[in-house]
């Protein structure tokens, strides 16, 4: 059985979603970052860097949510990872695009509007981050034109990984009203039972 170390409201959410999507048995061990569980010796024996998410699958221990999700998709994923080399490259392209470009901007907004104490918040950082988001949404919206999903018009790990980032935009007040394709796509992928279960 897979052992999953994670925490709500963290990058572990996308791995939780993937575990529900592939439908294999797993044990969820919650790690409280607020209480410093990730720095306790027993967890550091599993994940020396104190990183969540972490999974143990037999003799394999992995950290980094994207790497974990690629692994789970390849080993258990029922078509979630394409076999075609070009389609696989597109999976990596969209996954890394979202986590490298969009996620840092959304996390900046989150940090300076909700997480940091009010005295430490920087409204200029929020304004600058928000100003950089629309070009990325334009690109994604265009890529989804006439398509239900990002690659080969079927649900893949690229949709799951990318939606796990873009969906954070709704939480921090990003206006998606001008992006009909993104709205429809998010609704489509977030209507999957696996997503609902990962949010419980």
Domains of the chain with bracketed CATH: 2-76 (3.40.30.10), 85-198 (1.20.1050.10)
Cα 68 to Cα 76: distance, rounded to the nearest angstrom: 12
Q: Which residue has the tokens 């939480």?
A: 171
| Average pLDDT of adjacent 10-residue blocks, the chain of 200 residues | 93 96 96 91 94 96 97 94 96 98 97 91 96 98 97 96 96 94 98 94
List Cβ neighbours of 194 (8 Å cut-off, separation of 6 or more): 17, 18, 20, 21, 23
**pLDDT given at position 200:** 83
Cα 63 to Cα 163: distance, rounded to the nearest angstrom: 20
Secondary structure class of 11 (helix, strand, coil): coil
149 pairs with which residues across the strands?
none
**pLDDT given at position 8:** 87
What's CA 185's distance to the chain center, in Å? 15
pTM of the model: 0.95
**pLDDT given at position 78:** 83
């Amino acid at each position: 059985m897979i052992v999953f170390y994670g925490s709500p409201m963290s990058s572990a959410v996308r791995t939780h979603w993937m575990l529900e999507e592939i439908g294999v048995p797993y044990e969820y061990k919650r790690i409280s970052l607020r209480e410093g569980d990730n720095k306790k010796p027993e967890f550091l024996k599993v994940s020396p860097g104190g990183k969540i998410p972490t999974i143990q699958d037999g003799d394999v221990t992995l950290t980094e949510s994207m790497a974990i999700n690629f692994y789970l998709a390849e080993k258990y994923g029922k078509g979630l990872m394409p076999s075609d080399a070009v389609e696989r490259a597109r999976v990596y392209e969209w996954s890394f695009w979202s986590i490298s470009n969009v996620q840092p901007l959304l996390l900046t907004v989150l940090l300076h509007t909700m997480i940091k104490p009010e005295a430490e918040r920087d409204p200029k950082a929020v304004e600058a981050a928000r100003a950089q988001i629309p070009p990325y949404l334009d690109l994604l919206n265009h890529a989804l034109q006439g398509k239900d999903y990002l690659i080969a018009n079927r649900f893949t790990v690229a949709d799951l990984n990318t939606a796990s980032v873009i969906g954070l935009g709704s939480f921090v007040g990003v206006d998606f009203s001008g992006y009909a394709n993104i709205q429809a796509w998010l609704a489509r992928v977030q209507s999957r039972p696996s997503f609902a279960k990962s949010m419980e």
